[in-house]
């Protein structure tokens, strides 16, 4: 099967434009994540792909079929929601079996119309039980099949929701923030399980999150979205280390990347906050730029000099293996954040003067338009 192609998708809700003109190709079998802040349009795009929302313009092809106008269940996709969407009065087994039972029911209902049983459309009850049992086994919830959702933990509920998607054996899994109701520890655990599930099933996963860590760890490629537009589509490492747009650089990475207004001083050197930084660029003299430096690109330096920023320590956050040091640097509006190894940094205290060197290969340059 070929992948998924979204072409020139537009969607508005009254005066709000949720998607401007989004085009995207998803490779068959890949794990693709839509990443962006709240309201950027990622859920709307996923729901259009699922057939739960209708686009104003543009088309969606899944595999070799254009699916515009096809109802969700005819698209060969399964959606897993943040809310799990389980039926509280049904047992775990009944919840997981539901898509298969619906299929069986549909087949029976249609049978009289054509005067015979439609082969391949419904499953025998015993086959359904076996499928449910096998899926629950794979998800480690076989011992919970008789319980109701209200008697389960968040992680167990999420597994039931996954199970209900899995029994359909869809060509595409669509997941909308499936882990956001779980506590931090369980989220990391389930993240690994989802990754393993993708590896085992080998089908396409399209995943929506605003959590960078999820996007970075799970995905083959990440789509960074903002204000109804796609800013960049690339592998996680490229999104982080070689962003196309300053808005991507600012959204990805924690603590946030440091941005400085700068001027090209001479070949391969920019002037940042009164110091000369070496950069891998041949731009002409006097060009105005934005220089972006990730917090971990700084390292402690013994004294001021070229390639070194000097500032007063405003605050230190101890993060275990790392320190986040906030520096007030003359001529720079916002505090500069440096992420230093706690092992190598001596005791750094508020109010002291600190020199931090910049590793030239870690400096990113954007023009004043942010590209
Ligand atoms: P979140 O992470 O908060 O779910 P999102 O990136 O998934 O955000 P969408 O839910 O796709 O964003 O919403 C995109 C924009 O469209 C938002 O401004 C939202 O308020 C608006 N929107 C989405 N659905 C509707 C709707 N049914 N009616 C009106 N406006 C909507």
* Ligand 1 neighbours by CB, cut-off 6 Å: 13, 16, 18, 36, 38-44, 210
- Residue 122 — very low, low, confident or very high, per pLDDT cuts 50/70/90? low
The superfamily (CATH) of domain 1-76+170-253 is P-loop containing nucleotide triphosphate hydrolases (3.40.50.300)
The per-residue pLDDT of the chain, averaged, comes to: 89
Q: Which of 268, 277, 345 is nearest to 313 (CA)?
A: 345
Distance (angstroms) between ligand 1 centre and the Cα of 121 equals: 35
The answer to whether the peptide bond before residue 284 is cis (omega within 30 degrees of 0) is: no
Ligand 1 mutation pick, 14, 44, 209, max ligand atoms within 8 A of CB: 44
The CATH class of the 254-367 domain is: mainly beta
DSSP states of 76-130 as a string? TEEEE-TT----TTS-HHHHHHHHHHHHHHHHHHHHHHHTS--TTTS--HHHHHH
**Cα-Cα end-to-end distance for the chain:** 36
**Which atom of ligand 1 is least distant from the CA of 228?**
14
What's the pTM?
Answer: 0.90
Q: Cα separation of 229 and 20, whole Å?
A: 6
- Residue 196 — very low, low, confident or very high, per pLDDT cuts 50/70/90? very high
Which protein residue's CA is at the shortest distance from atom 10 of ligand 1? Answer: 43
Which protein residue's CA is at the shortest distance from atom 18 of ligand 1? Answer: 39
Q: Is the pLDDT of residue 262 over 50?
A: yes
- Residue 115 — very low, low, confident or very high, per pLDDT cuts 50/70/90? very low
DSSP states of 183-196 as a string? -HHHHHHHHHHHHH
Q: Is the pLDDT of residue 112 over 80?
A: no
Domain 1-76+170-253 matches domain 254-367 at the CATH topology level: no
**208 phi and psi, to 5 degrees?**
-110, 130
Kindly report, residue by residue over 2-28, the tens digit of the pLDDT: 699 999 999 999 999 999 999 999 999
Which protein residue's CA is at the shortest distance from atom 11 of ligand 1? Answer: 41
Lowest model confidence (mean pLDDT) among 38-42, 234-238, 367-371: 367-371
Q: Cα separation of 246 and 261, whole Å?
A: 12
Q: Cα separation of 121 and 99, whole Å?
A: 12
- Residue 119 — very low, low, confident or very high, per pLDDT cuts 50/70/90? very low
Q: Cα separation of 84 and 47, whole Å?
A: 15
Q: Is the pLDDT of residue 113 over 60?
A: no
Q: What is the percent of the chain with per-residue pLDDT over 70, rounded to a whole number?
A: 94
Return all residues near 294 (Cβ < 8 A) that are at least 6 apart: 253, 257, 258, 339, 362, 364
Q: Cα separation of 232 and 353, whole Å?
A: 38
Kindly report, residue by residue over 210-250, the tens digit of the pLDDT: 999 999 999 999 999 999 999 999 999 999 999 999 999 99
Kindly report, residue by residue over 271-318, the tens digit of the pLDDT: 888 888 888 767 777 788 899 999 999 999 988 888 899 999 999 999
Report which of residues 269 and 250 the model is more confident about.
250
By CB neighbour count within 10 A (0-12 exposed, 13-18 middle, 19+ buried), where does 219 fall?
buried
Domain segments of the chain as ranges: 1-76+170-253, 92-161, 254-367
DSSP states of 119-178 as a string? TTTS--HHHHHHHHHHHHHHHT-GGGTTS-GGGS-HHHHHHHHHHHHHTT--SEEEEEST
The answer to whether 34 touches 225, Cβ cutoff 8 Å, is yes
Q: Is the pLDDT of residue 357 over 90?
A: yes
By CB neighbour count within 10 A (0-12 exposed, 13-18 middle, 19+ buried), where does 256 fall?
middle
- Which residue shows structure tokens 């996963």? 205
Report which of residues 355 and 361 the model is more confident about.
355
Q: Is the pLDDT of residue 117 over 60?
A: no
pLDDT score for 345: 78
Q: What is the percent of the chain with per-residue pLDDT over 90, rounded to a whole number?
A: 66
Mean pLDDT calculated for residue range 195-206: 94
pLDDT score for 1: 60
Distance (angstroms) between ligand 1 centre and the Cα of 354 equals: 44
ipTM (interface pTM) = 0.96
- Residue 104 — very low, low, confident or very high, per pLDDT cuts 50/70/90? low
pLDDT score for 107: 54
């Amino acid at each position: 099967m070929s992948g998924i192609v979204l072409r020139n998708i537009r969607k508005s809700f009254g005066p709000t434009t949720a998607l401007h003109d989004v085009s995207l190709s998803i490779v068959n079998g890949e794990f693709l994540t839509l990443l962006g802040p709240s309201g950027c349009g990622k859920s709307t795009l996923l729901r259009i792909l699922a057939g739960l929302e209708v686009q104003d313009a543009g088309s969606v092809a899944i595999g070799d079929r254009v699916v515009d106008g096809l109802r969700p269940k005819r698209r060969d996709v399964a959606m897993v929601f943040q809310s799990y969407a389980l039926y509280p009065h049904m047992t775990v087994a009944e919840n997981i079996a539901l898509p298969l039972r619906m299929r069986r029911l549909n087949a029976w209902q249609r049978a009289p119309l054509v005067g015979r049983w439609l082969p391949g459309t419904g499953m025998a009850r015993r086959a359904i039980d076996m499928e449910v049992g096998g899926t629950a086994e794979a998800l480690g919830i076989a011992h919970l099949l008789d319980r109701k959702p209200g008697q389960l933990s968040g992680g167990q509920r999420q597994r039931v929701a996954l199970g209900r998607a899995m029994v359909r054996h869809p060509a595409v899994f669509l997941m909308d923030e499936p882990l956001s109701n779980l506590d931090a520890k369980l989220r990391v655990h389930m993240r690994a399980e989802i990754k393993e599930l993708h590896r085992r099933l080998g089908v396409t996963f399209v995943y929506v999150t605003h959590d960078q860590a999820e996007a970075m760890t799970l995905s083959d490629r990440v789509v960074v979205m903002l204000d109804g537009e796609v800013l960049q589509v690339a592998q996680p490492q490229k999104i982080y280390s070689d962003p196309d747009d300053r808005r991507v650089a600012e959204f990805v990475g924690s603590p946030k990347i440091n941005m400085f207004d700068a001027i090209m001083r001479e070949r391969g050197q920019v002037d940042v906050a009164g110091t000369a930084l070496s950069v891998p660029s041949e731009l002409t003299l006097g060009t105005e730029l934005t220089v972006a430096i990730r917090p971990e690109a700084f390292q402690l330096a013994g004294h001021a000099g070229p390639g070194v920023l000097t500032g007063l320590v405003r605050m230190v956050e101890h993060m275990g293996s790392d320190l986040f040091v906030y520096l007030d640097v003359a001529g720079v509006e916002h505090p500069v954040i440096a992420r230093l190894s706690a092992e190598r940094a001596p005791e750094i205290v508020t109010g002291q003067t600190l020199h931090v060197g910049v590793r030239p290969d870690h400096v990113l340059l954007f023009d004043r338009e942010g590209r």
